[in-house]
Chain A
Amino acid sequence: MARVLLRVPTMTEKGSVIEIRALIQHVMETGYRPNAQGELQPRDIIWTFTCRYGGEVVFNATLSPAIAANPFIAFTTIATQSGPVSFTWEGDNGFAQTETRHITVT
């Protein structure tokens, strides 16, 4: 499991726009870099990031080798209801990870 650092408000007002930040430990090997032997190191990146809020997809991004190592992504969403917010990263070599946080909306 890759280490993840999420900034998600735990409690917020209904209808407010909240900013979510997600950081995950990953090399994001581009596939364009030679190793010490001069051979290209195979690509190993996260290529998609999805945020689901109460089960519904509220944000989705497609990443490329141009995203820095340990990808950082920030976006906003409207606090609609209390419930789980899940984050899924998927990538090369079967990389798949999901983290869930709970938002309480008042």
Chain B
Amino acid sequence: MKRIALALFACCSIASADERRSGLLDMRPEAQAMQRDDSMNPGMLWVLDGEALWGRKPTPAAQSCADCHGDAAASMRGVAARYPAFDQASGSAIDLAGRIIQCREAHQAGPPLARESKELLALSSFVAHQSRGLPIAPPEDTGMRAVRALGQRIYNTRMGQLDLSCAQCHDDHAGRRLAGSSIPQAHPTGYPIYRLEWQGVGSLQRRLRGCMVGVRAEPFAYGSSEFIAIEAYLMERARGMALETPAIRP
């Protein structure tokens, strides 16, 4: 009963879009300025790296991303806003980084891209940047429904030695402070992000991993179905909000 009530509450809060706010607005003005002005945003260095990789063949015999997809400004516009998506071939959900890994393996015969590698983060940043300013628009297909439901279940499940769920901080106490840091509503609007604490760019899964370690839980593996499910749920929860990649966060 409690869970149904919670789910209903979650639906209601999604419906009133004005209550949702990007973590961008929770930062102090100086940090916001760092994100808004590309010439000060270090995340742009990863975007530029990605742009160079987009046009480069991973091996002399292979095709570059651009050889198939052409100008990313056109072909990748809006793509990041629709991930994670359902991959018919594997019958499971796939996130944007996963799709890039898959593309590299299947079509470029290049060396595999590791999760959180500089190359994969650069390509992900570049692709996601092509959707900056566009509304998050998760696909409506049925395959994703079960994935999101799993994500929502994990989001509401207490875990770790601190016995906390994502929801307990990011729904129940968003806007309040946790030891000097403000608790955001956890909308994944700007990934990959340049996190000041990391002093570099990282993925949403790295951020989720950080949260799990924070509550003293055993983190899920990079690329795991659990992480992709949470990602899918968070994107649904942020439906309609504008993408910001590369975002700055504390």
Contacts and interface: CB of A to CB of B under 8 A. Distances in A.
B199 A72 contact: no
Contact of B45 (A3, A7, A28): A3
Contact of A5 (B38, B52, B200): B38
A42 to B, nearest CB: 17
A5 B199 contact: no
Nearest to B200: A69
Contacts, number: 35
A9 B174 CA distance: 42
Interface residues of B, number: 12
B40 interface: yes
B39 A3 contact: no
A100 to B, nearest CB: 17
B23 interface: no
Given A68-B199, A69-B199, A5 B49 contact: no
Contacts of A82: none
A103 B153 CA distance: 57
Interface residues of A, number: 14
A68 B46 CA distance: 16
A21 interface: yes
A70 B45 contact: yes
Contacts of A23: 39-40, 42, 44-45
A28 B199 CA distance: 9
Contacts of A72: 40, 42
Interface string A1-42: 001110100000000000001011101100000000000000
Contacts of A69: 42, 199-200
Contacts of A5: 38-39, 44-45, 48
Given A27-B199, A69-B199, A70-B199, A3 B38 contact: no
Interface of A: 3-5, 7, 21, 23-25, 27-28, 68-70, 72
